Structure 1
């Protein structure tokens, strides 16, 4: 009997990505967005250049070589615009200015230029559903100016207008309306500091056209459209007649989300994007109640991609996974668009923890296997920073460290988003693990090669330094970039290997796939040109004929003669004739 492993590609001399690769940058491909691997950077948690504990644009620029070596095609940056930071920058006060927390406009331009020099495209967030309450428009609206028509102000109900205009609830909890000094109410589907814009006013359209052009002129390759399903509200703003409306998002059409009117906005933006050279793209963050509704956002004259949240929320079950894959491919294929696949982002519990709960080892096995499944499917994939390191959700953050507005508005909601936003570890055996010095001058070592990652992701309040805006677990030393680089079997090397193979194999990326009959319950089996993928979601190993030449495996395999034993929670890639 032999034990099969994938062979890691040659590891770089610089494990933490501070030196640009010596190789020539990869040329930009045409129609690149149809099968791109796009890496999401949560700006304040990626890399801190000045020791204030908050990630910034110069820090990201310094770490871009890590992303180039990882093998991704593009980087998506969360908002870095001027903001009071009531919701992590998604409350924008000035869309054309960089918040001093993150750097300067010149830093942003240099980051874009450096990324392009490494063969990486840059996608930035645009937040069109709402502004900050500190935006000049809203300040003028509160003062009674004509800018009030740029938002949704309404008179309240009740004897003296003391009740909100309707029963809509904020996604962050509580009512979606706040009363102001003159007795009127304004709509905010998120935090009170994020008043919703009125897209029936032509001035709003004109302003966002100008904002998009501002950043396109500075070289960005596209926009991730925040709340792309939310800008248009149903006529008359009718009551919903139900509570806990946030739980209904993505399961049914609501009068404030997924209204048909949003598509006219996106068609206008597509025309604007197409007027620029270089295949600039729009990506919809759209929660839709069905794959068919989601496909409307990526019709040929609308946006290029839409996040596939059905895949993200799918349980660890072969039947459910196959159903989601089939429905997703059918829906986007009906309009000629690629499907996107994503497992984690800055708004959800990391998939390792979703798959394993308190069992880190089980969650890691499943997360590694899910990554290979995702990267083998037709279309484009999104990676969330730190998933290539096997980072879990941090679930024991102290209350005093939390900053997510939903935590405070729901009277102690269990860490909806802070736990996935903890800064990532780069090197060293103590927090902040090379994220930033935090002014201590410590933690500049290269880390210890531990061979495999065994961190549990717990004890966030123990052993953590003060060098990051959210405390990092003491157990993350073994999960750092430096610790995993060159370590056989590490999650980082698995991602590097898989991304390299994905680029080498002409059958991966865009194109079709074909399911094969499952060799056992809980096993997914599909082929693409010259390629076969097998995933065992069951609890027991499965024996089957060796499919071909092993390319990548998420766990060690046992093989004897022509028989392969596929362990539980394992995904494998094979080269076939």
Structure 2
């Protein structure tokens, strides 16, 4: 069942695929409770196929208390009731395959939910129990163990340790959580942890999943000594990021993925500054690809982008892996907003909350960035709603914010809710078709009323709309032979602030990131431009515009 749909598909489809991230809670609500679900996704699979993407990546849809939007997994073999059932997930995979869409599911190896059966057993068993060796339980420091075992800090703010209570109510051991307290870290030195995750991979691969996206892929392996890592600590090796031991995990996963008649893909969330260390995850016996965060973080600047593109292609070529290009996801400020700011780079700290934003400029640059992405060799990731031109929603009332980052930092970091607002599908007022008529609850996060002009229905078939532009760009990319494979050559440098390169015979891409128009090359026809006004008879490329060209 799982392999029949792709008999004619390229075995290494991930090398140049366009992969669309579905954040289930915010995609489409089929039952009217204000939360997106699998019914909503299934109803809109034709929309996704028509958009022209090759695969869908689903953020976690598993049973979870939702302390961190599903990244606190309680049971990988059940679908969260808010989203649907396992049977619905299996039906969705089959329906997607029938439309030619691959399916990628999320796996979170660093931690599980504190409601996971293992952690509940460990709490009940008490100090010294075998069940506690699946996690990182330790006695505290200082008088009566009142201080955490070390100085590690949570990614979400505050200490990375929480103290338990013994059965008699007395303070007990501490447990490690590099994210929220509801997300205890697993001990990957325990063979049972390794065996369970391989079983989970088989569970979803056997149900037709074409690959897995690996969350926080650099973090599962820990220094068993749990040393302090304060500002004066040695920079390497890090006690819990990018340790050499982590590669043993992914070599085992790769062997499992390759054991299927149609090999499954492993895709890593790898945040690393060192390109050589990054490439280690993409060696031929490890992951197939990994997210390119250097590119996502890069400002809208030609010289900076060229450096990142060169470094990306070189790092991936060294291990024979395909590069990836991504502008937005569920963790970062939407790029229409970022590109409309004076500082167009992205930083995880504070997210430039309420910095002045020119959305018209940001949208213009976002269109140009899409054509640049799609012309580069490798795989492209899209985040749901970017094809509609959606921006970051920054005026969500504090009482409605749900991201643990917001709560654990006391609101100094507003968190990621602004990029997770439910999508607008139709109509002129919230919920904009996200929920069906007569829904029992509003969308779980409020939608801006200005999105009335940005619904999929309002943009469908409208010349020049963002949705029409995405569909056309993806259609042309599929049909352009020069955009397949690894061929890539920079054109001779011309005007400052302009990036130009060729792909294949006669096809080129020109991106003008400068503040002024530049001449289009003589003897070239415009295949597609991010500015709808660029076409026959036009001899200049406006500022913040990208064009695909074909030499006559």
Give the TM-score of the pair, scaled to structure 1. Answer: 0.88
Unaligned runs of 5+ in 1: 1-23, 442-465
Q: Which whole-Å CA distance do the structure 1 matches of 2:237 and 2:294 have between them?
A: 15
In structure 1, the residue matched to 2:379 is 380
Q: Deviations over 1:32-79 (max 9, x none)?
A: 111010000001000110000000011101101111001100000011
Q: Which whole-Å CA distance do the structure 2 matches of 1:186 and 1:438 have between them?
A: 46
Pair 241,188 (structure 1): closer, same or farther in 2 beyond 3 Å:
same
Q: Which whole-Å CA distance do the structure 1 matches of 2:261 and 2:390 have between them?
A: 38
Q: Which whole-Å CA distance do the structure 1 matches of 2:535 and 2:119 have between them?
A: 66
Q: Deviations over 1:431-456 (max 9, x none)?
A: 11111137349xxxxxxxxxxxxxxx
Which of 225, 248, 255 does residue 214 from structure 2 map onto?
225
Q: How many residues align?
A: 524
Aligned-partner SS, 2:286: coil
Structure 1 stretch displaced more, 466-475 or 102-111: 466-475
Retained in 1: the 8 A contact 2:403–2:416? yes
Which of 456, 476, 482 does residue 507 from structure 1 map onto?
482
Q: Is 1:79 the counterpart of 2:82 in the alignment?
A: no
Q: Deviations over 1:122-181 (max 9, x none)?
A: 000011110000001000111124210000011111122111111110000000000111
Q: Deviations over 1:383-412 (max 9, x none)?
A: 000001100000110111110001000000
Alignment of 1:299-310 (within 5 A): 299-310=283-294
Retained in 2: the 8 A contact 1:28–1:119? no
Unaligned runs of 5+ in 2: 167-171, 342-356
In structure 2, the residue matched to 1:122 is 103
Q: Which whole-Å CA distance do the structure 1 matches of 2:11 and 2:111 have between them?
A: 34
Q: Which whole-Å CA distance do the structure 2 matches of 1:547 and 1:118 have between them?
A: 39
Q: Which whole-Å CA distance do the structure 2 matches of 1:83 and 1:174 have between them?
A: 23
Q: Which whole-Å CA distance do the structure 2 matches of 1:65 and 1:252 have between them?
A: 49
Q: Which whole-Å CA distance do the structure 1 matches of 2:484 and 2:446 have between them?
A: 37
Q: Which whole-Å CA distance do the structure 2 matches of 1:292 and 1:478 have between them?
A: 45
In structure 2, the residue matched to 1:173 is 157
Aligned-partner SS, 2:44: helix
Q: Deviations over 1:71-128 (max 9, x none)?
A: 1000000111111010000101111011110000000000000000000000000111
Deviation at 1:29, TM superposition (A): 2.4
In structure 2, the residue matched to 1:418 is 417
Pair 498,27 (structure 1): closer, same or farther in 2 beyond 3 Å:
farther
Which of 90, 95, 99 does residue 76 from structure 2 map onto?
95
In structure 2, the residue matched to 1:498 is 473
Q: Is 1:34 the counterpart of 2:15 in the alignment?
A: yes
Alignment of 1:386-425 (within 5 A): 386-425=385-424
Retained in 2: the 8 A contact 1:52–1:439? no
Pair 507,51 (structure 1): closer, same or farther in 2 beyond 3 Å:
same
Which of 81, 99, 106 does residue 87 from structure 2 map onto?
106
Which of 164, 169, 189 does residue 178 from structure 2 map onto?
189
Q: Which whole-Å CA distance do the structure 1 matches of 2:521 and 2:88 have between them?
A: 55
RMSD: 2.0
In structure 2, the residue matched to 1:573 is 548
Q: Which whole-Å CA distance do the structure 2 matches of 1:576 and 1:26 have between them?
A: 36
Q: Which whole-Å CA distance do the structure 2 matches of 1:550 and 1:559 have between them?
A: 6
Q: Which whole-Å CA distance do the structure 2 matches of 1:230 and 1:350 have between them?
A: 25
Deviation at 1:235, TM superposition (A): 3.8
Deviation at 1:560, TM superposition (A): 8.6
Q: Deviations over 1:504-552 (max 9, x none)?
A: 1111033121001232110001011131100011111112434512111
